[in-house]
Amino acid sequence: MRWEGGTIVLKRFSLLVGLLPASCLAVDTVSIDVGADRHPISPLIYGMNFATPAQATTLRCPINRRGGNATTRYNWQLDCTSSGSDWYFLSHPEDGALPSETVDNFVSGNVGAGSQSMVTIPTIGWVAKLAPNRDDLWSFSVVKYGAQQSTEPWHPDAGNGVWLNGQPVVGNDPTDANMAVTVTYQQPWLQHLVGKFGLASQGGVGYYLLDNEPGLWQETHRDVFPIGYRMDDFWLRSRSAAAMVKDTDPSALVCGPEEWGWLGYLYSGYDFQWLGQHGWQGTPPDRGSHGNMDLVPWLLKQFATDQAQNGRRLLDVLTLHYYPQSNFGADDTSQAAQLWRNRSTRSLWDPTYVDESWINDKIDLIPRMKAWVTQQFPGTKVGVTEYNFGAEGHINGATTQADVLGIFGREGLDLATRWTTPDPGSVTFKAVQMYRNADGNGLGFGSTSVKCDVADPDNLSAFASIGGPSGPLKVMVVNKRLTGTAPVTVNVVHGTLRGTAVVYQLTSANVISHLSGVSTSPTRFALTVPAQSVTLIIAQQGPIPTGSHA
């Protein structure tokens, strides 16, 4: 243990500031330069996973993903899937009985709600199968493989795949509840989707994902894939699936590798498994035989080489998953957990922030992804297709969600889909709504990000945007402090404000309120925001000067 006095003092001070009453706090200053750091905000960063048509309509959800562990073994012909280790390795029917019926309904709902569809293509080499009459099957029969630690409540023969001694069941027959397939099994499915909904360029499925969290297949899907993938095998699977998509619909975009988190960015499934078996000591063999490269940039390099050789881009979007790691539960709203959650969003963008978890490293996620692309496969977009910071039903979860969406826009992420869509009655759902539909009539954040600075984003963050050459200026202020109101002054340069600004605000009362307007001078306005609140201020302005600041 090293004594780092300055760092410890600063952290303690930060914790205390979050609890001080308003009378003890200095005025927060938000500094906006309307002419600097201008870049488009991709509307696709406001995406969801499994949004219903009603949810998608309320949130004006631009893109809706059908992902997750169950999509890895989706059998489109039987419209069934496997729950893997999430639920007793059970193969079970989906909502429909016709081929692709569940996915067809998902895409149809998105079309009606004006959302683009993201559909997961299985690459693991197995899909679920069913018993006669569309009954369930399971991979670890107690009768066949012996007594296990627990069994499925409605199927007492379906074990959890762990013997009574705590060891995993090995040597099972993967065909008990699944069938082996190649990637060609999926091509008629893509042809069906194109036939039903048209090409991506005609409003059909716009995005296809290369499976889901392959670095965990040896855990989540160990009944069919007990040994983690090696890098060369992973590349061949990814290339084959991507080429199949492009052969079927050249206008569709391919996304991958859909890896699960920090260690999945760095290691193949084989190496992740090997390291776990060797006490996280030594050089993992797969990585060692591939120039000691991190997995993700290595995969990008393979796609770049393939394009140089064959003249066709097969990967369009680098997509990863991100769940903040900590010692707190996802729904923990203790004081310590809330203050950690306020800081945790730094891992998305701050090159100086050391993640406060077992990772203990500088994640710097969005800049890292962009650097990997720049170095290995320029022109590839970047996206985060699963993320969740927890506390969905609490105002701390809502302020964190608002902070994350602001960061996505400011940092220039190309797309993001939250796992999953918040409950419509939750304050976190309304935090997303603040960016997309604050007034219930489509009012949202602007389409162009501009420079916006604050002194201490762990306590109060802010994001600024404009909607065109002459405004309006839209500022999202997120007060993360657990107690006490915060006086805020917003200073603006290279823009001229006028009139009274419109204000919408979300608090722990779980209502988006249209407040009285705020008077502006040409270069500033001031307001006071409650503890743990999200406030959208819309200020009219004159034409934005062009020049060297753009």
CATH code for the domain of 475 = 2.60.40.1180
Residues 244 and 280 in one domain: yes
Q: pLDDT tier at 26 (50, 70, 90 boundaries)?
A: confident
Same domain as 397, residue 372: yes
pLDDT digits (tens, 9 = 90+) for 164-199: 999 999 999 999 999 999 999 999 999 999 999 999
- Residue 504's domain comprises 20-41+445-550
Pair 415, 494 in one domain:
no
Whether 226 and 275 share a structural domain: yes
Share of the chain above pLDDT 90, in %: 92
Residues 111-116 have a mean pLDDT of 98
Q: What is the pLDDT of residues 495-520, one digit of tens each?
A: 999 999 999 999 999 999 999 999 99
Buried/exposed code over 406-441 (b: 16+ C-beta within 10 A; e: otherwise): bbbbbbbbbbbbbbbbbeeebbbbbbbbbbbbbeee
**Which amino acid belongs to residue 189?**
W
Please spell the DSSP secondary structure of 472-527, one letter per residue.
-EEEEEEE--SSS-EEEEEEEESS-EEEEEEEEEE-TT--EEEEEEEEB-SSEEEE
CB crowding 500-527: b at 16 or more within 10 Å, else e: ebbbbbbbeeeebeeeeebebeeeebbb
Residue 6 domain flag: no
Are 135 and 235 spatial neighbours (Cβ–Cβ below 8 Å)? no
Do 398 and 361 share a structural domain?
A: yes
Domain finish residue from 441, 469, 485: 441
Shared domain for 401 and 518, answered yes or no, is no
- Tell me the C-alpha distance between 479 and 485, whole Å: 9
Q: What is the pLDDT of residues 367-415, one digit of tens each?
A: 999 999 999 999 999 999 999 999 999 999 999 999 999 999 999 999 9
- What would the pLDDT profile of 137-159 be if each residue is shown by its tens digit? 999 999 999 999 999 999 999 99
Residues 37 and 51 in one domain: no
> Are residue 474 and residue 383 in the same domain, yes or no?
no
- What's the pTM? 0.94
The answer to whether position 534 is within a domain reads: yes
The verdict on 256 and 391 lying in the same domain is yes
The Cα-based distances of 320 to 83, 375, 416 in angstroms read 21, 17, 10
Domain total of the chain: 2
| Residue where a domain terminates, one of 389, 407, 441 | 441
Q: Are residues 435 and 538 in the same domain?
A: no
Q: Are residues 466 and 415 both part of a single domain?
A: no
Domain assignment present for residue 115? The answer is no
